[in-house]
Structure 1
């Protein structure tokens, strides 16, 4: 009986110790979160846009409104959803039947804003998924499809294949060849990728214990530092999908955005243009993640840098179809440099 009491007592002390440490972490992050960021944002920013712009007819007024929105908010790059790829690496023309009119409208109403073809699919991994990038014939058809969109007048190709795991040589090879294509045409290549892994050394453990794939239980497809550098060396722009945080407090969510901004820009900010992805939607689980938290967190990450990156950087807004006027106003007030809005 006495032994059982001692065990329960020690267990209680251990639990109290752990809870105390957790409380200290929460308190420390809360204190860190309070000061107003000093850094302002930039006028180099991206926006993911819905498929209807390339797939459906629009009025001249709708195009005019889109152009005004992009100019007012200093958007330099728009990723117009133009896919997804079929399993064989093609995109049926019916899916982008309005692309030509869109490009003409962009030239008229948003001159200087790059309209990129946003293309991707669920990447086949370990037998699960749709597009098998390990197949050279599929990669060839992807490249031919890219050329079709460039012929239509798009200013670049924006890839969003998911999941992409560290060490995916086929995807790197596709990036290399796509950049050869875009550079030959005087266009750009951008890529959306998951946020950095927190600890690179944990990747081998994940691989050994948890399967890859698309099921509920799989290890996250986060790039290591080396793999992110490899991608950056093959892209003109890297958009980091920093959203879907699912953390319980605003200060923790903000710390997430700050950490990834600082680490990513230190790592590849001198190699390529970087867009830190920020959300204008509410996650499935309504935690603390929203646009104000994301913008403040990115700015805190900029504050932590010793110097600005050598290449342009900004935020990537996800997404055009979820951003309402009050959020655009908040973005202008809290991100754009003073005097630029």
Structure 2
């Protein structure tokens, strides 16, 4: 589950921590990506943004033991003069690693990256993953990341790139190809696919979207890394058909289409804690939890 910044940025009472821990346990959430950024252009995060991080970690150790807490760090990539952070600058990547170290020292169980957009020829992003893995792995910590859903047809990417070059604010779709997704999976402990925001007008189409991307993704990388398929707990603009129930049913259809379960753990990623109301948590438990084993993530 992706969690809002206020957990690291603001003070909370013991009762609030206790209630949050109960929510995580009741819904069998295995990993929480606590927003700890955004990362500045130079790769730093000002300490004033996370004064409550250490207290959060200590409280969750008490009230949600076993739940992995990860520092969620991200920023808009600079592309063709637009965006904020230059990942292809080695000095910026080095500073990001120092920022990672700060959060690991505070007690977080891992680092979760959400840099956007990421294109399938992004060597700088792969290098950042390699560098981060060398930091996290010896410490027994996790490296996870959020990534857009796979392109529908890999062969279409060169045509999109030619027709929609990276000029101005418009670019060809930043969707991973199968090859790029495998490269990412080989470098990360967890990959969370941002399958939401599909903007489809009917439940059948939205469900098909979740089913197909779940099947494709798990076939591609389910034996390489833990996969979470992102599901929304909000209603997109224009009241499209996508919602939590539609997404969960679609994910389950995608799983059922597999010849066998993936070798690595898999599950859904709830986006987000600040948009999920009690009725949606009830829907999550009814549509997801009963058939899942303890191996499956939240």
TM-score, L = length of structure 2 = 0.97
Counterpart position of 1:59: 13
Of the candidates 52, 63, 69, which is equivalent to residue 23 of structure 2?
69
SS at match of 1:111: coil
Counterpart position of 1:244: 197
Distance 1:214 1:130, change over 3 A: farther
CA distance in 2, matches of 1:151, 1:74: 26
Q: Which runs of 5+ in 1 are unaligned?
A: 1-46
SS at match of 1:161: strand
Q: Is the 8 A contact 1:56 1:98 kept in 2?
A: yes
Counterpart position of 1:280: 233
Distance 1:339 1:128, change over 3 A: closer
Of the candidates 204, 221, 224, which is equivalent to residue 268 of structure 1?
221
Segments ≥4 residues shifted beyond 2 Å: 211-215, 337-341
Q: Is the 8 A contact 1:129 1:214 kept in 2?
A: no
Counterpart position of 1:90: 44
Q: Kindly indicate whether residue 159 of structure 2 is the aligned counterpart of residue 159 of structure 1.
A: no
Say which structure, 1 or 2, has more relative contact order (CA 8 Å, 6+ apart).
1
Counterpart position of 1:5: none
CA distance in 2, matches of 1:282, 1:78: 22
Counterpart position of 1:229: 182
Q: Is the 8 A contact 1:277 1:318 kept in 2?
A: yes
Q: Deviations over 1:191-249 (max 9, x none)?
A: 1000000000010001111033673x432100000000000000000000000010111
CA distance in 2, matches of 1:223, 1:153: 32
CA distance in 1, matches of 2:234, 2:166: 28
CA distance in 2, matches of 1:98, 1:241: 28
CA distance in 1, matches of 2:166, 2:111: 27
Q: Kindly indicate whether residue 132 of structure 2 is the aligned counterpart of residue 178 of structure 1.
A: yes
Q: Is the 8 A contact 2:81 2:168 kept in 1?
A: no
Q: Is the 8 A contact 2:68 2:109 kept in 1?
A: yes
Counterpart position of 1:3: none
Q: Is the 8 A contact 1:258 1:299 kept in 2?
A: yes
Across the two proteins, how many residue pairs are aligned to each other? 294
Q: Deviations over 1:119-149 (max 9, x none)?
A: 0000111221100001000000000000000
Q: Is the 8 A contact 1:82 1:119 kept in 2?
A: yes
TM-score, L = length of structure 1 = 0.85
Counterpart position of 2:58: 104
CA distance in 2, matches of 1:76, 1:99: 19
Q: How does 1:6-85 map to 2 (within 5 A)?
A: 47-85=1-39
CA distance in 2, matches of 1:338, 1:171: 36
Q: 1:340 Cα shift? A: 7.5
Q: Is the 8 A contact 1:128 1:213 kept in 2?
A: no
SS at match of 1:75: coil
Q: Deviations over 1:277-333 (max 9, x none)?
A: 000011122110000100000001011000000000000000000000010011001
Distance 1:58 1:214, change over 3 A: farther
Counterpart position of 1:298: 251
Q: Kindly indicate whether residue 207 of structure 2 is the aligned counterpart of residue 254 of structure 1.
A: yes
CA distance in 2, matches of 1:334, 1:213: 43
